[in-house]
Chains A and B, each alone.
Chain A
Amino acid sequence: MRSSLGIQIGSFLALLALWHLAAVLAKSSLLPNPVMVIEVIGEAIASGELPYHLAITLMRVLASFILAMVIGTAIGIAMGWSRSFNRLFDPWLVFFLNIPALVLIILIYVWFGLIEIAAVSAVALNKIPNVAVTLREGTRALDKDYQEMARSFRLGFAKTMVHVILPQLYPYLAATARSGLALIWKIVLVVELLGRGNGMGFQLHLFFQLFDITNILAYSLSFIIVMQAIELVLFQPAERRISRWRR
């Protein structure tokens, strides 16, 4: 465990070194070296600008994530449970799975305006079908033996859900939450770039127009670090906790 962490850090440092070498060789303002980028990160944090936009983006990620997980899970469970429901809505699912994210975003902005709720729903809408498909699989794989046990002991709906059904769905929820977070934050940036006046996407767009590569890299790097921290601090401990019963 500790040695694998060491390897990971070493590997990351090697990437930084490679970047630095490339920057030194290129001698171009279009490829700043890591030291310059880290300096800019420091300045942007000091001015409060980076934390502000980062926080805005994270809030949007969080809102869309929760929306997508809750709605997607409900749809997925319903489709896994009921064959007729599945037959009815499977074509819808296929349709929404295959709509490009950008098309959904544009349509929703056009129909509902460049407002916050439109931005968040556009992102959520892009992820809901994926969540639904995964949870449908999970629901189909539920062990009927446990449900019989729950029914014969009259556990009732709430207890059955919490103690019998959801624990069987945790692996599916964890998988879709992971991939969901990765997908959602990328789409949030697009939504911000197209129709919001703040957030990471908006800032990146601004820097793009100014050809300010140092700032683009500074913002991206900070964001990657924050997302990785979320993975380490939230997802991995949660997963360990949930799966501690496994041998």
Chain B
Amino acid sequence: MEIKIHAKSFSTGGLSSEQPVLENIDLQLRPGEFVVLFGPSGCGKTTLLNIIAGLDAFYEGDVRLPSAEGRVDPVTGYVFQTPRLLPWRTVRENIQLVLDGDENDLEMADALIEDMRLAEFANSYPNRLSVGMRRRVALARAFIVAPDLLLMDEPFISLDDPTARRLRMLLLDVWKRRRTTVLFVTHDLREAVMLADRIVFLSTRPATVIADIAVDIPRDERHDDSRIEDFRSMLIMKNGFLFADP
């Protein structure tokens, strides 16, 4: 999986015509790898994800996503910063919506709903659910399409710590069973360490890759907060420059 972006800019509408956002970004993702994009707020991480998702065609570069056998186009699953569930559709309908809708698909949807402990809310409308629950549904919707690449844009932001932690564990759990390549954006280092096989550090605007660090904590020790914390301190000690947030 190859993502190369030479340049991306926004016109600000003001006097200075073009504002560069991304510059020389080169990402290689191995199949089944969990990669976290870590960078300061507002550095252009969301822009990068939108380009990869095909939502933004105005950039210079090349995005090549492989697709699973039997697929013409690669399928991406996207978990946005806000859940973006359709409020006028029930949880089950929201999840089924992104499928093609044959018999088999619907059974699959119900299996996943069961899997993610959403069964009891399957017929509820999203705005009757807690914020954490909505994010869980958004997660389910992204997994159900069996994506070739799963994009996640700070999906657990603005949740209380225990809820966010529970959702991270759930994500790892589902990801283990429905393995796919993940590109996860965050500016929370603890979250990055807990989830990632590899953390790619982005600079401030215009964003470019400034470091690429593997996280070697075994998967079955990720629930251990002290391991996460140790790794995090070591990272900050050795690579303090990465966190010099101007």
Contact = CB atoms under 8 A, between A and B. Distances in A.
Contacts of A157: none
A154 interface: yes
Contact of B87 (A152, A159, A245): A245
Given A159-B97, A245-B125, A145 B80 contact: yes
Contacts of A245: 87-89, 125, 127
Given A152-B78, A155-B98, A146 B84 contact: yes
- Contact residues on B (Cβ < 8 Å of other chain), bracket: 20 to 34
B152 interface: no
B127 A247 contact: yes
Q: Chain B at the A interface: mostly helix, strand, loop or mixed?
A: loop
B86 A145 contact: no
Contacts of B86: 146, 163-164, 167
Interface in A190-247: 242, 245-247
B210 to A, nearest CB: 28
A145 B77 CA distance: 15
B23 to A, nearest CB: 24
A149 interface: yes
A212 B127 CA distance: 58
Nearest to B151: A152
Contact of B84 (A145, A154, A155, A242): A145
A154 to B, nearest CB: 7
A154 B84 CA distance: 15
B53 A152 contact: yes
Nearest to B124: A245
Nearest to B141: A153
A151 interface: yes
Contacts of B55: 148, 151-152
Given A163-B89, A167-B86, A247-B128, A152 B97 contact: no
Nearest to A167: B88
B131 to A, nearest CB: 14
B89 A153 contact: no
Contacts of A148: 50, 55, 80, 84
Central interface residue in A145, A153, A164, by most chain B CB within 10 Å: A153
B137 interface: no
B76 interface: yes
B75 interface: yes
B75 A155 contact: no
Nearest to B142: A153
Given A151-B55, A154-B75, A155-B98, A145 B82 contact: yes
B108 to A, nearest CB: 15
A145 B76 CA distance: 17
Interface of A: 145-146, 148-149, 151-155, 159, 163-164, 167, 242, 245-247
